[in-house]
Amino acid sequence: MFEEIPTARPETPLLDQVNAPADLRSFKKEQLPTLVRELREFMLYSVGQTGGHFGAGLGVVELTVALHYLYNTPEDRIVWDVGHQAYPHKILTGRREALLNIRQENGISGFPKRDESEYDTFGVGHSSTSIGAALGMSLAARQLKTGRKAVAVIGDGAMSAGMAFEALNHAGDVKADMLVILNDNEMSISKPVGALSSYFARIWASKTYDHIREGGRKVFSGLPSALELARKAEEHMKGMVSPGMMFEELGFNYIGPIDGHDMDHLLTTIANLKDRKGPQFLHVITKKGKGFEPAEGDPIGYHAINKIEPDPKPNVEKSKLPKYCNIFGQWVCDAAEQDDKLVAITPAMKEGSDLIDFADRFPERYFDVAIAEQHAVTLAAGMACDGIKPVVAIYSTFLQRAYDQLIHDVALQNLDVLFAIDRAGLVGEDGPTHAGVYDLSYLRCIPNMVVMAPSDEDECRKMLQTGYEYKGPAAVRYPRGTGQGIDIEPDLRTLEIGKSRTLRTGQSGIVICGFGRPTYDALKAANTLDATLLDMRFVKPIDEEALLIHRNAKLIVTVEENAIMGGAGSAVSELLLANNINIPTLHLGLPDQYEEHASHTSMLKRVGLDADGIQKSIEIKLTHISNI
């Protein structure tokens, strides 16, 4: 058991010999426990150097070694769900040194990625896709007769999503040759919720059955008629205790639960399952943060860690500015104090969305629905039908999962639901899988929606209250990270819907329309260029009046941290066009490509959304205009 994260690179002589899983497969079984120890220590050291996902990877070290030892990877396909647990997999698949740059600019991704390595069979980041993807691979192998095997490794948290069950249902139906490994650590990011987690706990508790079953398998293996007999006895048993019955009903052969840190047991069981026909389901119990004492004791706190600073300076205070998620966390408690109809819904992101206080103070009005974004939105719709005012706290990137529910269940019926959309914009080291850069485009085309983007923390609080009081579907999309250091009015004030504010009046004829966070960077550019700056506040309804006043502007510039296509800038152009106003416009935002991970500051610079970039783009546009 490790008690500290090493800050000096540990000696890992055995691990150093593994440059690909084929090297690992040349080891004797007896060497594997040493390899496991070295892998765990190297991972501790490496994540300490870079920061990143921590507990989940430590929990699957034995499983990762066993899978690469037994399967012929990359020919055989291992699909990791979410991918936050794939650090040991990356280390064993030729990226040991690269791990020291994980999530850094130009370094490897924090998640499996197909164009990073042939061992990364499927790109992930969002959860609950592994079974569907592995099933697709298994059916491809069937059709193309490649003989390739497919394994999905999915956590108990990720298993709570509908997608996982849709894929299980299908796999059973087509009798796919595939293995699903449920990595059950009794944790999601926080404690998992729902009947499914209680179900897993019951299976885990039914040790007697497990022993009989395992014993039966060992004794009768190789004797077909006896095996048949054992199976009958097993069916009988299931009638009494029924662990794993649900998966058997879906057409899977359920085995487990087994100890996922017992290397011998893992190797024997997986080796047995590997060549069996039909859908196989192995339930493995592991400990999140395994092998590192503080993480075993605090799996929530150690889900992910920050880089360990080599020389921490106790006097250098971290930014005291509140994060946007804290602005939301405070507002939702204040609003709940005033209105007992308010409920808050989160799809498994209690900590990330800062609903910790709310859950403590208003437990009966707090709903963690597990990783089930679609359900979160439809649940809110149902509540809104019957007099409750739901606030759905959801990350922009995860709301993508619930788009139909947003349109069909909420907006089409004009239901009174507030969406507090966090992590809108670029999200730095988390990279393109988690970027919240499409929401303005996908929200503004939905009838009935009010869509707001705050430029600072005080605006954010007011917009939340505005959306809350608005009788219909409303969304406030705010970024990851901290505000601008603006004083926050403690009262619950609202804004007039569809009204912008003018932050600066300039004489150059340039009018900049800021949407959300980049507005303050645009202000710096406006100062230099003597431009007028509107903080538009509302992407929908857009402030028509304010824009039409500037019908004779020399140049209208829009700035947003969203895809340019279909975003807030498009709304401005549509309005000008509809009013037959033909003046030069410039849309600044994100280009039509995925932005690779880096620090947020560096990404903004790359896409020209920092103050300098905004100014330069305007200057270039001005030269084009004057050349016409």
Ligand X SMILES: Cc1ncc(C[n+]2csc(CCOP(=O)(O)OP(=O)(O)O)c2C)c(N)n1
Catalytic residue set: 288, 373, 401
Angle of helix 32-50 versus helix 61-70 axis, rounded to 10? 120
Q: How far apart are CA 389 and CA 119, in angstroms?
A: 47
Report the residue number, 14 or 305, with the smaller CB distance to ligand X.
305
Query: Shortest Cβ distance from residue 455 to ligand X (Å)?
Result: 27
Query: Shortest Cβ distance from residue 53 to ligand X (Å)?
Result: 8
Q: How far apart are CA 122 and CA 115, in angstroms?
A: 10
Q: How far apart are CA 406 and CA 425, in angstroms?
A: 20
Question: Three-state SS across 323-349?
Answer: EHHHHHHHHHHHHHHHCCCEEEEECCC
Angle of helix 263-274 versus helix 61-70 axis, rounded to 10? 40
Report the residue number, 373 or 561, with the smaller CB distance to ligand X.
373
Q: Which residues, in sequence order, are bridge partners of residue 180?
A: 152, 281
Report the residue number, 134 or 586, with the smaller CB distance to ligand X.
134
Question: Three-state SS across 190-211?
Answer: CCCCCHHHHHHHHHHHCHHHHH
Residue appearing with tokens 């998992």: 192
Query: Shortest Cβ distance from residue 300 to ligand X (Å)?
Result: 10
CA torsion angle 91 95 101 103 (round to 10)? -80
**Tokens encoding 393:** 């706290």
Q: Which residues, in sequence order, are bridge partners of residue 2?
A: 292
Sheet with 178-184: list strands edge to edge.
77-80, 150-155, 178-184, 279-285, 253-259
Report the residue number, 49 or 127, with the smaller CB distance to ligand X.
127
Q: Which residues, in sequence order, are bridge partners of residue 392?
A: 345, 419
Binding residues for ligand X, rule: CB under 6 A, are 56, 82, 84-85, 126-127, 155-158, 185, 187-189, 288, 348, 371, 373, 398, 401
Angle of helix 611-627 versus helix 519-529 axis, rounded to 10? 50
Query: Shortest Cβ distance from residue 395 to ligand X (Å)?
Result: 7
Report the residue number, 430 or 535, with the smaller CB distance to ligand X.
430
Of all helices (H) and strands (E), which one includes residue 569? helix 568-578
**How many Å separate Cα 395 from the centre of its chain?**
8
Query: Shortest Cβ distance from residue 156 to ligand X (Å)?
Result: 5
The closest residue (CB) to ligand X is 155
Report the residue number, 63 or 270, with the smaller CB distance to ligand X.
63
Report the residue number, 93 or 353, with the smaller CB distance to ligand X.
353
Report the residue number, 155 or 569, with the smaller CB distance to ligand X.
155
Q: How far apart are CA 40 and CA 59, in angstroms?
A: 9
What Å distances lie between residue 17 and 26, 52, 193, CA to CA?
Answer: 10, 25, 42
- Half-sphere exposure of 282 toward its Cβ, with a 13 Å CA cutoff? 27
Report the residue number, 188 or 441, with the smaller CB distance to ligand X.
188
Q: How far apart are CA 245 and CA 234, in angstroms?
A: 11
Query: Shortest Cβ distance from residue 611 to ligand X (Å)?
Result: 32
Helix and strand element counts for the chain (H, E)? 25, 19
Report the residue number, 103 or 213, with the smaller CB distance to ligand X.
103
Query: Shortest Cβ distance from residue 291 to ligand X (Å)?
Result: 14
Q: Which residues, in sequence order, are bridge partners of residue 224?
A: none
Report the residue number, 303 or 444, with the smaller CB distance to ligand X.
303
Interior/surface letters 225-262, b for 16+ CB within 10 angstroms, e for the rest: eebeebeeebeebbeebbbbebbbebbbbbbbbbebbe
Instruction: Return the closest-CA partner of residue 540 out of 595, 474, 455, 588.
Output: 474
Query: Shortest Cβ distance from residue 397 to ligand X (Å)?
Result: 8
Backbone phi, psi, residue 302, to 5°: -105, 15
Q: How far apart are CA 467 and CA 495, in angstroms?
A: 9
Residue appearing with tokens 């889900």: 303
DSSP 504: E
